[in-house]
Amino acid sequence: MATRYDAGVDHLAALLAGEPSYRVRQAWDGLYRRLLDPADMTDLPLALRQELDERLPLALTTAVESVSDGGDTVKWLWRLHDGAAIETVLMHYADRATVCVSSQAGCAMACGFCATGQAGFERNLSTGEIVEQVVRAARRALPRRLSNVVFMGMGEPLANFDRVWAGIGRIHHDLGLSARHLTVSTIGVVPGIDRLAGAELPVNLAVSLHAANDGLRDRLVPLNRRYPLDALRQACARYVAASGRRLSFEWALIDATNDRPADAEELAALALPLRAHVNLIPLNPTPGYATPGTPPSGVAAFCRRLRALGVTTTVRRNRGTGIDAACGQLAAGPPRAQPARTVRLSPTRMESTSTSPRRTTPSGHTTERTSSPSTTAPGPTTEAPPEAARLAAR
């Protein structure tokens, strides 16, 4: 049975065979423009609502919903039909709301510093599982409008290219988000970057670089042995030339590993000819990687060095550290003991980790809220991050 957001218009039309043709458009608009469950599409007859609800089940079941940063960051751990777990993070800013989505359950890229990489690969997500993360976050963001989508959650998006690209088409054409507000990240899958360069929609590309010499990058990012830096640099240049879109380099700062002056100089040499923007964020702690993130003073020094070399650089505030918001951390195991509000949910039963007053989410689940400490910006933060939740763990 197709899940609700895996079903295309043709599938919906087949389900509604025998009904007036305008019903297909009504139901499609209900799902994508009005973000409704079929049960709430009051412009459809009751029997039709019930049938759509039964025959187009949701793909994501809430296992954990965590809220931090004074309500500005919401992270979900979802269960899929086969028991796989994925994560999604919604981040509110003064001028926008961004969702960070997963593209795979687990990841095969095996970056040692990343909680998702440590857990290994389970499977690719379907287009519907990707799109539903965006729809559920868009509903949660109401009355604000979800404006940005970043593919920086669990998994390597370009290793699941076809489904991710079909999801981008739905997000752009049906949910109505501009392609310029969609960002695909990659650890450096060169053939995927080339496919992206030839694709129809001008999305942004974020390359998770983390090292600008092959020796260090081979250690941090195993895929670098297959696509070394020079091949990656050339693919980035082709992407920028073909798309005219912005390129960014993501750099998780790891203490005494990639945060030295020489690292900044190597990074500048790579970034400047490509006019790449650099996003810095200190590495989040993960269970299987002992080296900590760079301390705030080191982040500030690294940022100053890059700027002095002429690189446009932003230090990203690490959202949701109190709720294990870096990708793969909820799925990797029980959340660390911390005072942020965390709820474990099932459709029928809720186990709370706190004792504060209850509230009801838009999806009808009961949650509990506790006060949350705000996270501390690392060093010279210039702007709250549009896509920070994943960076420290990718």
| Residues forming the site for ligand SF4 (CB under 6 A) | 107, 109-111, 114, 116-117, 154-156, 187, 327, 394
| Structure tokens, 95 | 């001028």
Q: Work out how close the CB of 121 gets to ligand SF4 at its nearest, in angstroms, rounded to a whole number.
A: 9
Of 154 and 281, CB closest to ligand SF4: 154
Q: What residue type is assigned to position 218 of the chain?
A: D
Q: In whole angstroms, give the CA distance from residue 302 to residue 53.
A: 53
Q: Work out how close the CB of 266 gets to ligand SF4 at its nearest, in angstroms, rounded to a whole number.
A: 20
Of 243 and 284, CB closest to ligand SF4: 284
For 35, residues 6+ apart whose C-beta sits below 8 A from its C-beta are 135, 138, 139, 142
Q: What residue type is assigned to position 169 of the chain?
A: G
Task: Please name the residue ranges forming H helices in the chain.
Answer: 9-15, 22-32, 46-55, 115-119, 127-141, 161-169, 190-197, 214-220, 229-243, 261-274, 296-308, 329-332, 388-391
Of 227, 217, 313, the closest CA to residue 272 belongs to 313
Q: Is the four-CA dihedral 386, 392, 393, 394 of positive or negative sign?
A: positive
Q: Work out how close the CB of 392 gets to ligand SF4 at its nearest, in angstroms, rounded to a whole number.
A: 10
Of 6 and 122, CB closest to ligand SF4: 122
Examine the residue annotation and report whether 327 is marked as an active-site residue of this protein: yes
Q: Work out how close the CB of 370 gets to ligand SF4 at its nearest, in angstroms, rounded to a whole number.
A: 29
Examine the residue annotation and report whether 87 is marked as an active-site residue of this protein: yes
210: left (phi over 0), alpha (psi -120 to 50) or beta: left
Task: Name the catalytic one among 65, 87, 132, 387.
Answer: 87
Task: Name the catalytic one among 111, 250, 327, 368.
Answer: 327
| Active centre residues (catalytic) | 87, 327
